[in-house]
Amino acid sequence: MALRYSQTLPAVVLLILAIVGILLVALPAKNMDTPPEYMYGIVLDAGSSHTSMYIYKWPADKQNGTGIVTQHSECNAQGGGISSYAGVRGGAAESLKACLEQAVKEIPKSRHHQTPLQLGATAGMRLLNIVNATETQRLLKEVENKLRSYPFKFKEATILSGQEEGAYGWVTVNYLLENFVKYDFVGRWLNPGRATIGALDLGGASTQIAFETSEKVENKDNAMELKLYGQTYRIYTQSFLCYGQDQFLRKLLAHLIKTEGVKPQVSNPCYPQQFNISIKLGEDVFDSPCTKKYRPAQFNPQMSVSVVGTGDYQKCLDNVKEIFSFNNCSYSKCSFDGVFQPNVRGSFMAFSAYFFAHSYITNLTSIPLTSPSQLEKAIRLICNLTISEMTKRTNQKEKHMKNVCAISNFIQVLLLQGYKFNEHSLPSISFQKQAGGASVGWALGYMLSRSNLVPAEGLGLMKALPLGPWAGILFLFIAVLLIALGYLLMICRYTRNKQGMV
């Protein structure tokens, strides 16, 4: 008996070793990790209509990989955007309090002082800056002081340029889709060799387009070179101020009032038939730099005007087109308003207000938007619906539904006549709110870019075993496994034979 143990023990040990070895080598490295310690980062997206806070996290030991940073949670601040607190001391700071308190609770205390906190304001503050630069600076200082009063690592409270906003949206989309580098099953970082995809963002006060291009960008303001993971990407990025959906709706009203004249009742072909609301000329229409050029020489800002819907697809479309300018291009080609744009290329992701408009259109019509003619057919149908049909079908409030015909036509003109998407390229747009568990917007790309979470250089350091040696080691373990098994079998048979003989 003693002889048998001493004979089998080494073989069993070898067998176990080989199995453990094979498991270690073959299983994805990620699965073998103990639960990781996380680092956190906070971004406040101070938009024109509201402020959102995003908390991101990533494993403390892995900073550089794409797809490593994920969204931990999100918080929507109550009330309007910070620019809506112009002239209200303390209002903007107070509006951020609830979300910041949530961040204090959600992020482990030991990480607070390491957690970068940054606020980026967009077109709402760009517009306020045109009207009153001192008040804009005061507001920024106010929110900065508020952010500094929390235990996090305050980085900045700043107004992003339109170009930056577009480019950060592009970084977000491609990071979430792992188009830069990919962590493969063997634990290596690879360039997946995929084409990047373009980003289409529709906010309240501005709209952005950004995509990779090989064409010459004739206006250098629209060109951006991003170095990520050792690759250089040449991006075209453009932001149109006053072409966010809220400011577009204002311009449409201003345009209608300008053409029909200032009178107590104005008809709006983009509102559902019979639908009517009362608006104030000042606060609802002309109190914005975006409607300046439509402003009548004399008007009473307090005057109420009743806007009555006629639900007329064609007239609505014609009026929407008149908001854009398609002539006066000083480059080889333009999108609109004299802005240079290369041909759109590859796939796109459309998010923010694009996503909601798209889901309203498909919910209201059940028409798949696979071509320009399908899009037109769907919008025609929508503009013919009454407000009660719309609210019934979508379960949404009147205040959202009243503008669906106008916004859909706006998006149609923007994408087709503006950016020049056609039969072939329109179906390549996917309308999404989230990707990889995170909200799609500029916030993630902004944090990644400004916190060195995406390195400019390649990931030489991060590379695990290259494929050759890895296969060799796996082969070795399998050989050991087979030898140990064979040896065990042999001993078994030998002892059985011996027992049989006894």
Ligand X SMILES: *[C@@H]1O[C@H](CO)[C@@H](O)[C@H](O)[C@H]1NC(C)=O
Catalytic residue numbers read 165
Q: Is 29 in the site for ligand X (CB under 6 A)?
A: no
Judged by CB under 6 A, the stretch of 74-82, 236-244, 383-391, 455-463 that binds ligand X is 455-463
Query: Given candidates 455, 465, 474, 487, which one binds ligand X under the rule CB under 6 A?
Result: 455
Query: Given candidates 106, 135, 287, 389, which one binds ligand X under the rule CB under 6 A?
Result: 135
Torsion 237-241-247-251 (CA) sign: negative
Q: SS3 letters for 150-207?
A: CCCEEEEEEECCHHHHHHHHHHHHHHHCCCCCEECCCCCEECCCCCCCEEEEECCCEE
Alpha-carbon torsion angle 452, 456, 457, 462, nearest 10: 40
**Contact (Cβ atoms closer than 8 angstroms) between residue 169 and residue 442:** yes
* Binding site members for ATP: 204-208
- Cα distances (Å, whole numbers) of residue 446 to 26, 80, 281, 494, 502: 36, 22, 37, 70, 80
Contact code string over 269-308 relative to ligand X, x by CB under 6 A: -----x-x-------------------------------x
Contact code string over 410-429 relative to ligand X, x by CB under 6 A: --------------------
Q: Which of residues 197-256 bind ligand X (CB under 6 A)?
A: none
CA dist 402 and 269 (Å) reads 11
Our CB check for ligand X shows the closer of 58 and 236 to be 58
Judged by CB under 6 A, the stretch of 50-58, 112-120, 172-180, 453-461 that binds ligand X is 453-461
Our CB check for ligand X shows the closer of 137 and 434 to be 137
Strand order in the sheet with 265-268: 265-268, 304-309, 276-280
Q: Is 432 in the site for ligand X (CB under 6 A)?
A: no
**Closest distance to ligand X from the beta carbon of 88 (Å):** 9
Q: Which of residues 137-196 bind ligand X (CB under 6 A)?
A: none
Q: Which of residues 73-112 bind ligand X (CB under 6 A)?
A: 87
Total chain residues near ligand X (CB under 6 A): 13
CA dist 206 and 91 (Å) reads 24
Longest dimension (CA), the chain: 120
**Closest distance to ligand X from the beta carbon of 455 (Å):** 3
Query: Given candidates 190, 457, 489, 492, which one binds ligand X under the rule CB under 6 A?
Result: 457
CA dist 465 and 471 (Å) reads 10
38-46 and 51-59 beta bridge pairing: antiparallel
Cα Rg of the chain (Å, integer): 30
Query: Given candidates 1, 2, 297, 461, which one binds ligand X under the rule CB under 6 A?
Result: 461
- List phi, psi (to 5°) of 449: -70, -40
- Cα distances (Å, whole numbers) of residue 470 to 28, 41, 89, 458: 12, 35, 63, 21
Query: Given candidates 7, 63, 161, 386, which one binds ligand X under the rule CB under 6 A?
Result: 63
- List phi, psi (to 5°) of 239: -125, 130
Q: Is 462 in the site for ligand X (CB under 6 A)?
A: yes
**Contact (Cβ atoms closer than 8 angstroms) between residue 296 and residue 266:** no
Strand order in the sheet with 231-241: 223-228, 231-241, 206-212, 198-202, 348-352, 429-431
Query: Given candidates 6, 34, 134, 327, which one binds ligand X under the rule CB under 6 A?
Result: 134
**Closest distance to ligand X from the beta carbon of 490 (Å):** 48
**Closest distance to ligand X from the beta carbon of 453 (Å):** 9
CA dist 191 and 231 (Å) reads 9
Judged by CB under 6 A, the stretch of 132-140, 333-341, 370-378, 489-497 that binds ligand X is 132-140
**Closest distance to ligand X from the beta carbon of 100 (Å):** 24
**Closest distance to ligand X from the beta carbon of 30 (Å):** 15
Our CB check for ligand X shows the closer of 391 and 439 to be 391
* Binding site members: 204-208
- Where on the chain is the footprint of ligand X (CB under 6 A)? 63-64, 87, 132, 134-135, 274, 276, 308, 455, 457, 461-462
